[in-house]
Structure 1
Amino acid sequence: MKTGKEITDPIADGMEDLILAQKIAKKIAENENTTLGGELLS
């Protein structure tokens, strides 16, 4: 019996999560008029 999805590439999945988290952080910073820095600038 299998549950969930099988992870084919954990590195790629982790990068997708990181990119999503950065997009969310960027939107929050923009809404709060906080100066962006680091990887949020790209």
Structure 2
Amino acid sequence: KVQVSIQGDELRVNGKKRDVLQDVISLMKESKISQPLQYVNFRD
């Protein structure tokens, strides 16, 4: 349901539905990643 691409030091997640993208953000927040994460939304 989503497409993920790596652009330099960024991980870009594209999806049609906002709910699915919010699920991905929730998954990332729950994971134990040692790097700081930033979520940017370019869609209105």
Instruction: Say whether the fold is shared (TM-score over 0.5).
Output: no
**TM-score w.r.t. length of structure 1:** 0.39
Q: Higher helix fraction: Structure 1 or Structure 2?
A: 1
Structure having the higher Rg: 1
Q: Higher strand fraction: Structure 1 or Structure 2?
A: 2
